[in-house]
Amino acid sequence: MSVELAEVISRAELVVTCGPGGVGKTTTAAALGIAAALSGRRVVVMTVDPARRLADALGLDIQAHANDPHQVEGVGADGGSLWALMLDAEATFDRLITERAGDPDKADKILTNRVYRSIAGSLAGAQDYMAIERLHQLNAAGQFDLIIIDTPPSRDAIDLLVAPDRLVRFLGHPIYRALTMPQRSFARVANAGTTAFLWIVRRLAGPRLVEETIEFFKSLSGMEEGLRRRAAEVAVLLRAKSTSFLIVSSPRAEAVAESTHLASAVVDGGFRLDGVVINLVHPLPRALDALDDLDGLEPGPLADQVAYHRELSQLARSERDEMEGLIRLASGVAVAELPLLEIDVHDVASLTKLAALLTGG
């Protein structure tokens, strides 16, 4: 059943894992990275905000390794290697400004700007947009055979995919336009709404902040074209034949419902859905036919055990019913099932175990 995922990671150049919250997207991305490295590929797993213990497992230190690929020691075979990269939106934004600003003075002016500092960390979608920028850089550098991107939880749309559009829309906003045009033409074309907006900002924040805002937007304006171009290139890359989307889900009803939405969003967006991973599956306990004869048990440890066994069987069975829906949905793509392990998955050994289950290795 899971052999097909092995094929996906041996063929794809870019794999995107997406799915509802807490189902194991990051874990799956890391496990697939290990599987690919063991099959001889140079692979980088790019992750946003990994759980602390998983970051430790991959030897990632937030301070030291933000935004730069860092090799995970001791993983790989036949020339393959595993690299991990943790995304820090603010740092990537800074790097982008430094690279594109043209001269250091200009870069410095932007980087120390108060308005920039607040926008860099909080602009809606900045994180996702920066993931796109980083992906563009990694892809262009051609240092890796395979890039695996782990996305933050998503419900019915993948923020990562709409981030470029959102940023471009932001840059096309009338207020942005008005602020970045020369003062005199601004006075001529500014409509009542924009003027009122500026008046309110001036009153609330003081004239100095308004000047800073205008300064910031002016300095960004030279970079707009590059931002647009790279966003468009990534949009093409995400739809390339060599790019595979994988949905990770758990067998719980809510997760299955969200994953179903997500699958349509992926397909409708023109992306290639190549697999579904169902994680955290309770193993079906061995059938105890004799259980029915145990109905009249005296209260006590044995009765508790029997009740527990019944509950577990019921849970495992209802999970299987939920999974049916997902498996039907995923007809024609790879489907892999991962058991809920007794141990917390936070080291290379347990990730390697999941890797083997994912790829039938």
Note the residues at the interface with Mg ion (CB under 5 A).
Answer: 25-26
Name which of 33 and 80 has its Cβ closer to Mg ion: 33
- Judge whether 124 and 166 are in contact, CB under 8 Å: yes
| 338 interface partner picked from Mg ion, ligand ATP, none, CB below 5 to 8 A per type | ligand ATP
Name which of 25 and 41 has its Cβ closer to Mg ion: 25
- Judge whether 134 and 46 are in contact, CB under 8 Å: yes
Name which of 29 and 335 has its Cβ closer to Mg ion: 29
Q: State the minimum distance, in angstroms, from the CB of residue 150 to Mg ion.
A: 6
Near ligand ATP in 49-68, by CB under 6 A: 51, 54
Say how many CA atoms lie within 13 Å of 153 toward its Cβ. 11
In angstroms, the CA 329 to CA 318 distance is: 17
Site string for ligand ATP, 243-262 (x = CB under 6 A): --------------------
Of all residues in the shown chain, the one whose CB is closest to Mg ion is 26
Name which of 26 and 92 has its Cβ closer to Mg ion: 26
Written as six digits, the tokens of 251 are 């067998």
Name which of 25 and 42 has its Cβ closer to Mg ion: 25
Which residue in 9, 16, 23, 43 binds ligand ATP (CB under 6 A)? 23
Question: By C-alpha distance, which of 46, 248, 225, 39 is closest to 137?
Answer: 46
* By CB under 6 A, residue 21 contacts ligand ATP: yes
* By CB under 6 A, residue 346 contacts ligand ATP: yes
Written as six digits, the tokens of 244 are 């595979």
Name which of 116 and 245 has its Cβ closer to Mg ion: 245
In angstroms, the CA 172 to CA 175 distance is: 8
Which residue in 77, 200, 205, 340 binds ligand ATP (CB under 6 A)? 340
- Judge whether 113 and 101 are in contact, CB under 8 Å: no
In angstroms, the CA 110 to CA 142 distance is: 30
Chain centre to alpha carbon of residue 96? 20
CA distances from 337 to 193, 251, 271, 318, 334 (A): 55, 10, 23, 15, 10
Name which of 35 and 97 has its Cβ closer to ligand ATP: 35
* By CB under 6 A, residue 360 contacts ligand ATP: no
CA quadruple 160, 166, 168, 171: dihedral sign: negative
Question: Helices 126-141 & 89-100, crossing angle to 10 degrees?
Answer: 60
Which residue in 34, 220, 263, 345 binds ligand ATP (CB under 6 A)? 345
CA distances from 130 to 191, 262, 282 (A): 32, 22, 37
Name which of 19 and 110 has its Cβ closer to ligand ATP: 19
* By CB under 6 A, residue 153 contacts ligand ATP: yes
Stretch that binds ligand ATP, among 77-85, 263-271, 288-296, 341-349 (CB under 6 A): 341-349
Site string for ligand ATP, 259-298 (x = CB under 6 A): --------------------xx------------------
In DSSP terms, which residues pair with 149 in a beta bridge?
16, 46
In angstroms, the CA 155 to CA 166 distance is: 18
Q: State the minimum distance, in angstroms, from the CB of residue 116 to ligand ATP.
A: 28
| 33 interface partner picked from Mg ion, ligand ATP, none, CB below 5 to 8 A per type | none
In angstroms, the CA 231 to CA 284 distance is: 46
Which residues are near ligand ATP by CB under 6 A? 21-27, 51, 54, 152-153, 279-280, 338, 340-341, 344-346
